[in-house]
Amino acid sequence: MLQLRPNCECCDRDLLADSTDALICSFECTFCRACADNRLNGTCPNCGGELLQRPRRPAAKLLKYPASTERVNKA
């Protein structure tokens, strides 16, 4: 199950679980759309993988399976 990390690893911007601005790679590295497009050129700096829009979990499922609260930041 996806962790739905709460922030961009690049700029530390908050990314809510239902955000359409959250992008991830296959390892769940998480970035905001602005950093992914303007700084990273759509490529994860950690693994070199493609950054795609993160799926959103339905609100009812978020109650039972909440998003992660652990922030990851790699300057």
Q: Could you tell me the pTM of the whole model?
A: 0.92
Residues 7/8/14/16 CA torsion (nearest 10 deg)? -70
Contact present, 35 and 10 (Cβ < 8 Å): yes
Confidence of residue 70 (pLDDT cuts 50, 70, 90): very high
In whole angstroms, what is the distance from residue 20 CA to residue 39 CA? 18
Confidence of residue 74 (pLDDT cuts 50, 70, 90): confident
Is pLDDT of 8 > 80? yes
pLDDT digits (tens, 9 = 90+) for 22-66: 999 999 999 999 999 999 999 999 999 999 999 999 999 999 999
Fold of 1-66: Herpes Virus-1 (3.30.40)
pLDDT average, residue stretch 6-22? 97
Give the Cα-Cα-Cα angle 49, 45, 29 (nearest 5 degrees): 70
Neighbours of 62 (CB within 10 A): 14
Q: Delimit the domains of the chain by residue range.
A: 1-66
| Tokens found for residue 11 | 């700029």
